[in-house]
Structure 1
């Protein structure tokens, strides 16, 4: 079995330089790195990860807590994070918290016990106070899809309030004034902020906010179906529907067709997140782009820069959502829209 000394001899560099290459140290030139990597390949050298960890006090692993591992939103997030680390020889350990405070705490304790070099946390149940306290520990903590002012230099977040605003504005721009809203659960900050954006758009156009036209869902397809059924059963008058995410929008679209709605002529619907399936729905779902994949890449780069001292591109901490127009919105028409949506 080849040794690090043989690698250094064949590459014509010091053992220390080989070690820096193995640890992805930014101080090594590209030419030197190529020589060392070529020597390792020729000799079939495989570094001992345990020995590396003891020598560098690094495990080259990053722990990631997410709310769930199913669904397109979290899949995109995790893919962005993992690909960025894998490109630089780091590995990721994922665990889930299921939006439950105790489970999220257990997940974080597990990741810390694995001696991860840093933690990336997507938390929906933990308080700001708990996360601030956690950040004072020995393991660096980085937040994604969450902003805490005291930890701002380690947060990657989306302007959810603006996203909720432009979603409802898109409906208003089509002439709609009676707009129902299916929100995510309000203990989740992003759901709360999106609802606030919805309210701001209504207020800007002098449209009264009607609590009877709000349903609090679960960010899942069933929540969208349940929300639309609630509005129909309670005989609310509405011609358009804004949903707090795309999964709820897809559930609402399915139930609308089952109730004889012609979309978008009888009911305009807009979602939020722009997950991959939105362009395959019928009609194709208009939505708000949430660049969660880019945010995953960005939080990983932040860890690489702050923890591993790697050269990275500039860090963007706040992302701005954008409107993605497709086919599920139509101009308000007093005939079929008002009749069908309230019947």
Structure 2
């Protein structure tokens, strides 16, 4: 079995130079780096990553904690994180928190225990105080899809209040006044922010927010189904529904279509997130963007910049939503 000594002899360099190449030290010239890599390939040498980690105090691994592993929302985020880090020869270790405080804390401890060089956290249940304290520890953290003022330099986030306002403003511009609202779970900050944006838009148009036609959903299709069945059972007039995400909007629209209601002729809809599949159904869903994939990439670049000292990357931490108009809403007749 080839050793690091064999590599140094074949490449004609010192053991220290081989070590620098394995640790991606930028001080090694491209010519020397290639000689070492060619020697490693010729000998079939595989570095002992555990030994490397102990020697360099760097594991070249990043922990990623997400709320859940299923659905169309988190996959693109994790893909961008992994792709960006893999391009820099870093690897990810993924854990799920399931929007539960105890599980989120347990997953943080698990990732720290694996010697991760940094943590990318998409967390919803732990407190701001917990995250502020965590940020002062030995393992650097960056938050994704969450804003904490005290550690704002570690946050990659979307202006959700503005997005909620944008969605409702569009519906109001079409002349709708009786507007139902399907929110996300209210323990989630993004759900509260989107609702605040909705209420602000209503107030600016002197339209009262009607709690009776507000339903707290779960950000999933079945939550949209339950919400729409409840709203229709009230026999209260409404001509439009603003949904806090696209999955619930899709479930709600399916109920309307099953009951013979026409969308948007009878009820207009708008969603939030701009996930792919609502663009392939009829009607195509009006929505507000949530570039979670790009936020994932930015969180990975933050780690490369702040932890691995890559000064060639540029990080944008604040994202502004965009409105996408298709054909699920129309002017009130």
TM-score (norm: length of structure 2): 0.95
Mapped to 1, the partners of 2:262 and 2:167 lie a distance apart of 21
Mapped to 1, the partners of 2:31 and 2:265 lie a distance apart of 62
**2:183–2:195 contact (8 Å) kept in structure 1:** yes
Q: Give the aligned length.
A: 333
Equivalent position of 1:74 in the other structure = 74
Equivalent position of 1:126 in the other structure = 126
1:241 is paired with a residue whose SS is strand
Deviations 1:280-304 (A, max 9, x none): 1221111111111111111011111
Equivalent position of 1:284 in the other structure = 284
Alpha carbons of structure 1 residues 35 and 283: separation in structure 2 relative to 1, 3 Å: farther
Equivalent position of 1:297 in the other structure = 297
Alpha carbons of structure 1 residues 260 and 31: separation in structure 2 relative to 1, 3 Å: farther
Mapped to 2, the partners of 1:8 and 1:309 lie a distance apart of 27
> What is the CA-CA distance between 1:30 and the residue it aligns to?
4.4
Alpha carbons of structure 1 residues 47 and 214: separation in structure 2 relative to 1, 3 Å: same
Mapped to 1, the partners of 2:167 and 2:34 lie a distance apart of 49
Equivalent position of 2:200 in the other structure = 200
Q: 2:328 matched to 1:328? A: yes
Equivalent position of 1:168 in the other structure = 168
> What is the CA-CA distance between 1:171 and the residue it aligns to?
1.2
Mapped to 1, the partners of 2:174 and 2:7 lie a distance apart of 67
**1:25–1:310 contact (8 Å) kept in structure 2:** no
Alignment of 1:1-343 (within 5 A): 1-333=1-333
**1:289–1:322 contact (8 Å) kept in structure 2:** yes
> What is the CA-CA distance between 1:86 and the residue it aligns to?
1.1
**2:305–2:313 contact (8 Å) kept in structure 1:** no
Alpha carbons of structure 1 residues 135 and 217: separation in structure 2 relative to 1, 3 Å: same
> What is the CA-CA distance between 1:230 and the residue it aligns to?
1.5
- Higher mean alpha-carbon deviation, 267-276 vs 184-193, is at 267-276
Mapped to 2, the partners of 1:26 and 1:196 lie a distance apart of 48
**1:26–1:310 contact (8 Å) kept in structure 2:** no
TM-score (norm: length of structure 1): 0.92
> What is the CA-CA distance between 1:3 and the residue it aligns to?
2.9
Moved over 6 A (4+): none
> What is the CA-CA distance between 1:142 and the residue it aligns to?
1.2
2:73 is paired with a residue whose SS is helix
Q: Structure 1: which 5+ residue stretches go unaligned?
A: 334-343
Alpha carbons of structure 1 residues 165 and 46: separation in structure 2 relative to 1, 3 Å: same
Mapped to 2, the partners of 1:198 and 1:264 lie a distance apart of 20
**2:156–2:295 contact (8 Å) kept in structure 1:** yes
Aligned CA-pair RMSD: 1.6
Equivalent position of 1:341 in the other structure = none
1:72 is paired with a residue whose SS is coil
Alpha carbons of structure 1 residues 17 and 171: separation in structure 2 relative to 1, 3 Å: farther
Deviations 1:96-125 (A, max 9, x none): 111111111111111111111111111110
> What is the CA-CA distance between 1:315 and the residue it aligns to?
0.8
